[in-house]
Amino acid sequence: QGDTRTATVATMQGMAKQHVILVAGPGRAIRDALRGAQLNKVNFAMTNILVVPYETGLTEADRASKPSGSGFGDRPTYETQPYVAEPVGPGWEEFIEAEMQTAIKQAGEKVRDDGIALVVANDGKVLRRGVGRVPWKQMVDELEEAVTGEKKESTVPFLEFLE
């Protein structure tokens, strides 16, 4: 209970067969994304998804001084869910910046404020790149479809407009 371990994304995908949804952007975009993920957490458990938030605009000192979640300076519950993994190790900043630059070329500078999301299946294939609010249900369905090969049908077709 509450134990954490450090592992590479490759290990999580190869050994644990976890899909990864990487969300990167300023604090507001990360908070919005994690709150949205918390509303859909039942789907994460069933489909073996790991959410990796990367807040842009922080220095290494800022990252190191983030509260651990025990005692004073508790972190919000949406940051401490079992499906949320903190990015650790070298290379994240360069990787995120390269993804941001690609997104900026396609969607303009607003990307830096809106944030980006990358959906990576457990085989390492990038299924989707997006800008702005994360459509969690759609992402989960796409990952499930990528694994099973079956398109998920809505159980109540006349309510599809609510998604």
pTM above 0.85, yes or no: no
Instruction: Give me the percent of the chain exceeding a pLDDT of 70.
Output: 73
Confidence class for position 68, pLDDT limits 50, 70, 90: low
In eight-state DSSP terms, residue 54 is: E
Per residue in 35-46, pLDDT (tens digit) is 999 887 767 766
88: region left, alpha or beta (phi > 0 left; psi from -120 to 50 alpha): beta
122: region left, alpha or beta (phi > 0 left; psi from -120 to 50 alpha): alpha
Bigger pLDDT: 157 or 135?
Answer: 135
Q: What is the mean pLDDT of the chain?
A: 80
What pLDDT, on a 0 to 100 scale, did the predictor assign at position 96? 94
What pLDDT, on a 0 to 100 scale, did the predictor assign at position 9? 63
What pLDDT, on a 0 to 100 scale, did the predictor assign at position 30? 95
At residue 43, the 3 state secondary structure works out as helix
Confidence class for position 121, pLDDT limits 50, 70, 90: confident
| Exposure on the CB side of residue 140, measured as CA atoms within 13 A | 20
The C-alpha atoms of residue 40 and residue 20 are separated, in whole angstroms, by 15
Q: Is the pLDDT of residue 145 over 70?
A: yes
Of 24-28, 56-60, 93-97, the range with the lowest mean pLDDT is 56-60
Helices (H) and strands (E) in the chain, counts: 7, 4
